[in-house]
Amino acid sequence: MASNAGGPGIGEILQQLYGQARGRRALEKIEALLSSWPEPDPDRHPGFSQSDMVLITYGDSLRDGRRPPLQVLYDFALKHFKDIFSAIHLLPFFPYSSDDGFAVIDYMKVNPDLGTWEDIRRFRDHFELMFDFVLNHISSRSPWFRAYLEGRPGFENLAIEITADTDTSRVVRPRALPLATTFRKADGTEVDLWTTFSADQIDLNYKDIQVLVRMIEVMLFYVRQGARILRLDAVAYLWKESGTSCIHLPQTHKVVQLLRAILDRVAPEVIIITETNVPHQENISYFGDGYNEAQMVYNFTLPPMLLHTFLTRDAGPLSRWASGLKAPSERTAFFNFTASHDGIGVRPLEGILPPEAIEFLVRAVRQNGGLVSYRANPDGSRSPYELNITYVDAMKNPGLQDDPLHIRRFLASQAIQLCLPGVPAVYIHSVLGTRNYYEGVEESGQARRINRRKLDLDRLHAQLQDPASFRSQIFYPYLEMLKLRRNQPAFDPGAEMKVYDKGKRVFACRRSCRQQDLWCLVNVSDQPVEISLKDECGSQPLSSLAGRTGIDSRAIRLEPCRWLWLEAR
Q: How far apart are CA 518 and CA 67, in angstroms?
A: 44
Burial of 192 (0-12, 13-18, 19+ CB in 10 A): middle
Strand partners, 63: 456
List 233, 342, 393, 517, catalytic entry: 233
Q: For the chain, how far is it from start to end, CA to CA, in angstroms?
A: 29
Give the HSE-up count for residue 61: Cα atoms under 13 Å, Cβ half-sphere: 26
466 counts as catalytic: no
- The residues, any chain, with a CB within 8 Å of residue 126's CB and separated by 6 or more, are 77, 78, 82
User: What is the three-class DSSP state of 157?
Assistant: coil
- The residues, any chain, with a CB within 8 Å of residue 341's CB and separated by 6 or more, are 56, 58, 91, 100, 427, 448, 451, 452
**Cα of 300 vs its chain's centroid, Å:** 8
Which of 6, 2, 12, 17 is closest to 292 using CA atoms? 6
Q: How far apart are CA 407 and CA 255, in angstroms?
A: 43
Do residues 63 and 457 make contact, with C-beta atoms less than 8 angstroms apart?
yes
Q: How far apart are CA 238 and CA 220, in angstroms?
A: 19
In this structure, the strands spanning 227-232 and 128-133 are: parallel
Q: How far apart are CA 357 and CA 305, in angstroms?
A: 10
Q: How far apart are CA 510 and CA 499, in angstroms?
A: 6
| Angle, CA of 380, 386 and 390, to the nearest 5° | 155
**Radius of gyration of the chain, Cα coordinates, nearest whole angstrom:** 24
**Cα of 218 vs its chain's centroid, Å:** 21
Give the HSE-up count for residue 341: Cα atoms under 13 Å, Cβ half-sphere: 20
User: What is the three-class DSSP state of 306?
Assistant: helix
Q: How far apart are CA 180 and CA 196, in angstroms?
A: 7
Q: How far apart are CA 249 and CA 260, in angstroms?
A: 17
132: amino acid identity, one letter: D
Strand partners, 191: 183
What positions carry a catalytic annotation?
233
